[in-house]
Every structure is written in C-alpha cells, then in structure tokens.
Structure 1
Amino acid sequence: MRIIAIANQKGGVGKTTVTMNLAAVAHEAGSRVLVVDVDPQASAEFWATQAEQGAGIPFDLTTSTDPAQLASMRDLPYDVILVDTPGSLEAEDVLTTVLQNADFVILPTEPTPLALGPVVRTVRQVIAPSGVDYRVLLNKVDPRTPADASDAAGLLDQTGLKRFRAFIRTYKVHTLAPLEGKVVTQYPHDQRTLRAVEDFRKVNSELLTQFANEKVAS
C-alpha cells in the first residue's frame, strides 16, 4: 500500500482536482483506491456527492480529521490511499498528522513565480522535516503557452526542489467536473479530453516508476 498526501499550504492550486483525477487513473490502472478528504472545505466530498446523481466515482471516498483514524489507514484494504489536505497555514497540525502516516507527498502548484514561493516554503518548513519523499507537480498549465511550464520547471530546479517531469494542463472540462460529478476517466471522448486524461496518466506512470525504483533499492 502507498499513502500519498496531496499538499500545499496555498489554496487554489488545484489539490482536489489532482487528488480526484489521480485516483481515477490509478483505479483505471488496476489499483484499489481510497480518497480521504481531510480538508475542512470538503471539496472532494462535495465532488463525490455530485457524482451520486450520475454514474458515481470509480473509487471509494471518506472524510476524517481524527488522528487515530488517520493512523489506522494502513490497515485498510487498498493499494493506494490519496489524502486531500487543507490548503492553509492554520491547518498545519492536520497536515503534520497526515505526514506522519504518508509514504509520499505530491505538491501541486501553478506555474507562476508568485505561486512557487508558497510551495518552496511548504517543502522546506513542513515536508522536508517530516522526512517523507515528495515531488512538486506543475498544475494549471495553459496549453496555449507550454513555455510557462518550462520556465516554472527551471525556477523549481534552481531551488533544488524535486518535481515531476509531467505536468497538468488546464482545460475548461476540469473546472466543470466537480459540478458535474465526473473524474477525468469519465470525461466525454474528444481530442481535448483525451489530452486531459493523458496528463494524469503520465503523472501516475512517474509515480509507479518511482515506487518500483524504491522497491528495487530496498
């Protein structure tokens, strides 16, 4: 089992979108997946509730901020557990509890200089001291200006932070998905949505490679 926290102490970076859609492609790849929503805003729970009016989401979801319950996550019958964490400095205690039980952290960030500052702070002040491995994920990349991702990747590399090679482009369908209760593997099939799901498949592929390399090294 792998417990993966989706974290960034800056709000609005797309943590819930990353959580839900990575859960979808992990399920598509054959994993038993659980999403745990520990964010007081409960965006993932809202998304799942909207999905109940249609086909539903293809994985399990629960909510909890109880440290005892979070500590027992590893006893659950899943291959992958994705934890959507709070996007604020005030909820650092919840994030710390999640990190005590996590194997890996994904930190979504927008590809702008102002957005990179908070993710650097989160890594250096919270993630690095925990000792949990991590990767920064460039999210909300404008598909019309792919150079934005390259520029942001260069800035991240200068800070020494570890990052995914893949990145997530922003499409209107991602914005509408929570209201429609759909995850990326349920989007209508057209050229744009196929590119959207491929972005998340690439991230999941990097994760699987990372975990496989860890297993070999151990």
Structure 2
Amino acid sequence: MRLIMFDMDGTLIDSGFAITNTINYVRVNLGFEKLEKSYILEKVNDPSINSAEFFYGTKEFTPQQTKLFEEYYNKHCLSDLVLYDGISKLINDLKNDFVLAVATNANSQYAHKMLNHVGIGHHFKTILGYDSVKNPKPHPEMVHKILDIHNISNFNAQLIGDSHKDIMAATKAGVDSVLVNWGFSNHEKGAIETIEELEKRIFDKFK
C-alpha cells in the first residue's frame, strides 16, 4: 500500500478569493482595513507568523473571530473555487495505484464540501482538517494520523503541498514531500512549477 497526501488550498484547489474575502470580512468587522489578496495569501502560508496576531491583533483566535470567519466562509467558500489545471487528470492517474488523502489546515467539513464541489472529493479515502487534530500543520500530528488510519509506513508515503508548513509536517513525520509553486506562495527555491514535474517526482519516489 502506498499513500499520497495532498494539502488542499493552494495545492489542489485555488480558493484564494474565498480565503482573502473571509479574512477581510473579519478584519472589517473588527475595525481594521482590508488587505491585498496577494499579501494575505503570502502571509497565511508563512510558518513564522502567528495568524491570529498578524491578521486580527490577538494572541489567539477569539470566539468572535472564529464565528465571523465561519459565518462568512460557510456562505461563500464555494464561490470562485477552481481546481488547478491538471489536478483532475493527476488524481485520475493516481487513484488506482495509491491511497489518496487530504491533510488541510482548513475545517474538515468545509474541505469535504469544497472537494466535492470541484468533483474530486470521492477519490480521497481520508480528509483531515485542523479540527481533526490537536495540532495542525506544521506539527506532524495530521500526517501521523493519516499513516495510522491506513496502516502505511512513512517510507511508503509522500506529502504534496504549497507551503513550508506542509513540508515541515512531512519532514517531522519522516515522510517524503514535494513543494509546489502554483499555490499561494512564491517560493524562490526548492519548489516545482508544473504537474508534469510533480508526476515525475511521484514516479521517482515510488518506482
């Protein structure tokens, strides 16, 4: 049994508009001004930043922030949602040879809803979100949990994501990883640019 884990936002689906609009909705309700989309997406993926502090000025997310976020996101998370080019074909190419899973720092219910909306949800045996674990990525808990669910060794797994949070989670769990550059980050080095390169990296790892 071989396992491929995908991050969701910025890796499988371009949900940049939904994320940006939601964060700005919360900010405006808290009396802050809106931020640029590219700036928000760059900071959302930065492992060195405390998101609650950065976006809303509090050490941790407050119940009010969470409520505002989920209220808006729930209504709007499916609008402007698209699969990245080539993802649908990639999933089809992999689905017979690999167990496929999703490890996302989004809420797992939204993740199911979003992946079903773009037509690929049924291909993933397991979809874990931040609410499925105590510690989201870059902590390795989510990766360990998926390995345990499917009883697959870390050597027979690979994680694909667009953020250093993904890579850090995989590395701490002893899992091979691939950093992709079509998502929300703009990596200077170490990231691949195309689905073709990703297929090659998967093939090289498991051949």
Q: State the TM-score bracket (shorter-chain normalisation).
A: 0.3 to 0.5
TM-score using structure 1 length? 0.41
User: What TM-score comes out, normalization by structure 2 length?
Assistant: 0.42
